[in-house]
Amino acid sequence: MFIDRTDAGKKLASLLTEYASEDCIVYGLPRGGIPVGFQISEAIKKPLEAILVKKIGVPGQEELALGAVAESDEPAFYFNNDLMLSLHLTEQDLQSSITKRLDEIRVLRERFRGKAKIQREPNATAILVDDGIATGATVKAAVMWLRSHSQKSIVVASPVCQKSVAGEIAQMVDTVVCVQSPSVLFAVGEYYSDFTQVSDEEVEYLLKAARINLSKKS
C-alpha cells in the first residue's frame, strides 16, 4: 500500500537509480503519472515530459476501453483487437470517438506545452511512467508512439501493475519495473491510501518545477 503518488514515486525511483548515469527522459502519463514521474525525475536528475494519451471507448459506452491514442501529431494507436472482434466493431466504427480524443489531446498539449514540441531524444532511454497499470491500453499506445520515433530503449515503470499485463508490455519494451505486481488488479486506487484525482493545475506545476529544478542542478 502506498500513502499517495509521492510516496509511490519515491519507492519506484529507488528501483531506477541505475538510470541516473544514462541519457534518459522521464515520460509521465497525465494526470496520475506526472506526480510519480516527478519523483523519478528528481531522484535521477533527468527531464520530465508529459506524453499525452487518451482511452478510446465503445460508442455509447465510453467507459469500456477498446484502446487508446497517444499524442496528436503523428498519433499512435493501440486497439484491443480481441475485444473489438467480440463486439463486431472496426476502427471505422470508432472514428467519432477517435476524433474527440485527438481534440482533447490538442487542448492538453496547448495547456501543458504551449507551442513547444514534446522532448524526444532517439539515442536516450525513455522511462515511461504511470501511477498504476490495470488494462495497459494507455501505456501500450504510449509505447507504440515512442517506438514510432525510433526510441533507443524504453523502460515502463509503475508502482503497481497487473502481472499478466506487465508480461504483455514486457514483450513491447526493453524493461518493465514495478514495485508490486499482483495477479489480479481490479482498481489501481486500492493500492493507495490517498488516490485523489490529480488536477491539470498540478500537472502544470510539476512539469514547470521539474524544468526549474533540473536547470539548477545542471
Does 203 share its domain with 95? Answer: no
% of the chain residues with pLDDT over 70: 99
**Nearest in space to 94 (alpha carbons), one of 122, 145, 61, 56:** 56
How far apart CA 134 and CA 7 sit, in angstroms, is 19
Q: Which of 112, 147, 181 is the last residue of a domain?
A: 112
pLDDT grade for 45, boundaries at 50, 70 and 90: very high
pLDDT grade for 150, boundaries at 50, 70 and 90: confident
Does 165 share its domain with 86? Answer: no
67 grid coordinates: 484502446
Does 41 share its domain with 16? Answer: yes
Q: Is the pLDDT of residue 81 over 80?
A: yes
Q: pLDDT by residue (tens digit) across 92-128?
A: 889 989 999 999 999 999 999 998 889 888 889 999 9
Average pLDDT over residues 139-144: 97
Does 108 share its domain with 140? Answer: no
pLDDT at residue 195, as a whole number? 97
**Based on the structure, what is the number of domains in the chain?**
2
Average pLDDT over residues 67-80: 94
Q: Is the pLDDT of residue 167 over 90?
A: yes
pLDDT at residue 206, as a whole number? 97
One-letter amino acid identity for 133?
I
Does 210 share its domain with 146? Answer: yes
Does 95 share its domain with 175? Answer: no
Write down the pTM of the prediction. 0.94
Q: Which CATH number fits the domain that encloses residue 168? A: 3.40.50.2020
pLDDT at residue 213, as a whole number? 86
The DSSP-derived string for 8-61 is: HHHHHHTT-GGGGGS-EEEEE-TTTHHHHHHHHHHHHT--EEE--EEEEEETTE
pLDDT at residue 218, as a whole number? 61
Structural domain boundaries, residue 30 = 5-52+121-217
Over the chain, what is the mean pLDDT? Answer: 94
pLDDT at residue 57, as a whole number? 87
Average pLDDT over residues 145-170: 94
Does 144 share its domain with 47? Answer: yes
Does 88 share its domain with 125? Answer: no
108, 52 in Cβ contact below 8 A?
Answer: yes
**In which element (H, E) is residue 110 found?**
helix 95-113
Does 95 share its domain with 14? Answer: no
How far apart CA 13 and CA 79 sit, in angstroms, is 30
**Nearest in space to 37 (alpha carbons), one of 126, 167, 168, 161:** 126
Q: Which residues pair with 154 in a beta bridge?
A: 126
Does 108 share its domain with 143? Answer: no
Does 206 share its domain with 191? Answer: yes
Does 69 share its domain with 140? Answer: no
Q: Which of 79, 112, 145 is the last residue of a domain?
A: 112
pLDDT grade for 64, boundaries at 50, 70 and 90: confident
